[in-house]
Amino acid sequence: MSNKRHIEPLLWSLFGAGGTTIAFFFPAIIFVVGLGVPLEIIPAEALSYERMSTFFLESWIGKLVLMVALVPSYWACIHRIYHGAHDLGFHPGVGVKVACYGGTLILSLATIALLLV
């Protein structure tokens, strides 16, 4: 029996967090943009560029919402792609795994850094 530690549980937890985030945020976004505005339930000017950029890029709550919506989603997407490739018979090596998850880590840190500036 090996005492070797695996990173896989951490990656699956990030995948789970991302999946939960996607399941929580994206149906609401689809409703607002895809149904709410076209059916005039929500006024179109409520989603104007000026108003949305002010909220999401100039307020701390908006930046927090973006971070919570985007960063876990990155991890869910890359984990799904990596394991989907494996399920299709492509067995990428350790280098591809490091590139996938390392790239996602860099993307996550860049998103956080850009939103905090």
Q: In angstroms, rounded to a whole number, what is the distance separating the alpha carbons of residues 105 and 117?
A: 18
Provide the pLDDT for residue 113: 96
Contacts of residue 33, Cβ cutoff 8 Å, sequence gap at least 6: 47
CA 9 to chain centre: 18
Q: In angstroms, rounded to a whole number, what is the distance separating the alpha carbons of residues 27 and 31?
A: 6
Contacts of residue 88, Cβ cutoff 8 Å, sequence gap at least 6: none
CA 107 to chain centre: 10
Provide the pLDDT for residue 9: 85
Provide the pLDDT for residue 50: 93
The per-residue pLDDT string of the chain (117 residues; one tens digit each, 9 = 90 and over) reads 567 778 888 888 888 989 899 999 889 989 998 999 999 999 999 999 999 999 998 999 999 999 999 999 999 999 999 888 888 888 888 888 899 999 999 999 999 999 998
Enter the tokens of residue 28: 């609401």
Provide the pLDDT for residue 2: 65
